[in-house]
Amino acid sequence: MITRERGILITLTVLALSGTGVLARHTADAATIPPVGIHRALTAGDDGVVTIQFLGDTMLGDGAEDTVTTDAARLTALMAGFADGDISIANAEGPITDREVRSGLGTRAYAYASQPKVAGVLAATGVDIFSLANNHSMDVGLDGLRDTQRLLADAGVLTWGAGATAAEAEVPLLLDTPNGTIGVLAVGEDFGSDRRATATTPGTIPATPQRLQRGVDLARAAGADLVVAFVHWGDNYQPVNDEQRSVARMLVDAGVNLVVGTGPHVTQPVEVIDGVPIAWSLGNFVFTTPGRFAGYSAEGYGLSLTLVIGADGSTRFDWRCLVTDNLRTDYQARPCTPSETLHVLPFLNSSLTVAGTVGTMPSPLRLKPAPGYAAPTTTSSGTSP
């Protein structure tokens, strides 16, 4: 087995944090945690519903580099309208920059750098926010990271999850909805000393008990009613591994309410651990490497997970799939047909039901009713008048 190494209404509040390397588990008063976060406001539709969509690994280049040069929009053309959440979040697996991939990558077999034009192409897909907490965001060093952040910001896309120091990388995302605030942490495995953010060096936040607890505490201090962990982990083209399960346990113990994973480039099932839903892997969104699905007897599908929040504060999970095997699609990811949906979605979890190209799954998450929400009235017979 080969293990992989490891705008828009925006309010950005950045407060000075006392970075001291790896932080001990925070047990002090919430008042001692600085209220730092990247806030994004969401408004409900006419039906009172708010939707938060999560998508998988995203990168345009590599095997489709020639197409990026000549007609980059072709690579995402079939996905038009797929990223349709009130907020859509994905993982940007690699820097967007015209700088060269840095030397000294050691034993890493793969490194990426997408052309600057890719930022606009990705923005046009409808993705609003990209996580940079992955093993490729530092492939071109801090300069490449800064290019990525700047180019996506210029295209109207927010980023979070990596930075020049741990104090920058650990800042949570806060989605302010009529039903309350949802904090989203961007974390990953420990991708090595050259990608691990510290008090003085750039990178991402590794999944240790101390760092995960710190992330939850930061999100709660900034006003989060629920906390989601968007995690990059796992082995390429493989089932859920022991390290994923260990990190999931840490997240549950830290007080996370939902875990959404990316990284393996294939779909993995959904489980519930102590009442916390764990979506182990969404697979790819638009990711243009040739792929090695056949070599691992794996299927090239990706997933969209949408958290649907009702006006009454109730929630559910809506699932869709997409075809991501580039040898099958000629580097044009596309939504699943109804038959493909029936092939993929029912195996995620036994509680999931499919209608057409959408799978619905109950959610244990609960938020407060939106302001002005009035519960339906009932007659003595128990039915609405």
What per-residue confidence (pLDDT) applies to 6? 33
pLDDT at residue 383 in the model: 46
Q: Write down the domain spans for the chain.
A: 34-366
Cα–Cα distance between 194 and 73 in angstroms, integer?
A: 33
Show the tokens assigned to 138.
């530092």
pLDDT tens string 103-142: 555 445 688 999 999 999 999 999 999 999 999 999 999 9
How far apart (Å, rounded) are the C-alpha atoms in residues 306 and 24?
A: 34
Our CA dihedral for 232, 237, 242, 246, rounded to 10 degrees, sits at 10
Q: Is 169 helix (H, G, I), strand (E, B) or coil?
A: helix
Q: CA quadruple 247, 366, 38, 111: dihedral positive or negative? A: positive
Helices vs. strands in the chain: H and E counts, helices first: 8, 20
Look at residue 182 in the predicted model and tell me its pLDDT.
Answer: 98
Note down pLDDT in tens along the chain; length 385 residues: 333 333 333 333 333 333 333 333 333 344 467 788 999 999 999 999 999 999 999 999 999 999 999 999 999 999 999 999 999 999 999 999 999 876 555 445 688 999 999 999 999 999 999 999 999 999 999 999 999 999 999 999 999 999 999 999 999 999 999 999 999 999 999 998 889 999 999 999 999 999 999 999 999 999 999 999 999 999 999 999 999 999 999 999 999 999 999 999 999 999 999 999 999 999 999 999 998 999 999 999 999 999 999 999 999 999 999 999 999 999 999 999 999 999 999 999 999 999 999 999 999 999 999 999 988 876 555 544 3
pLDDT, residue 32, reads 63
Cα(284)–Cα(340) distance, integer angstroms: 16
Contacts of 87 (CB under 8 A, 6+ apart): 40, 42, 51, 52, 53, 128, 129, 175
Residue 272 has φ and ψ, to the nearest 5°, of: -125, 125
Q: Give, for 248, the enclosing helix (H) or strand (E).
A: helix 242-254
| Secondary structure element (H or E) that encloses residue 119, with its range | helix 118-124
The predicted-structure confidence for 277-298, as pLDDT tens digits, reads as follows: 999 999 999 999 998 999 999 9
Q: Which CATH class is domain 34-366?
A: alpha beta
CB atoms within 10 A of CB 197: 25
DSSP string, 173-238: EEEEETTEEEEEEEEE----TTTB--SSS-EE-B--HHHHHHHHHHHHHTT-SEEEEEEE-S-TT-
Best CA proximity match to 91, nearest among 354, 276, 269, 304: 304
What is this structure's pTM?
A: 0.90
The backbone torsions φ and ψ at residue 301, rounded to the nearest 5 degrees and listed phi first, read -125, 150
Query: Vertex 364, ends 359 and 369: CA angle to 5°?
Result: 100
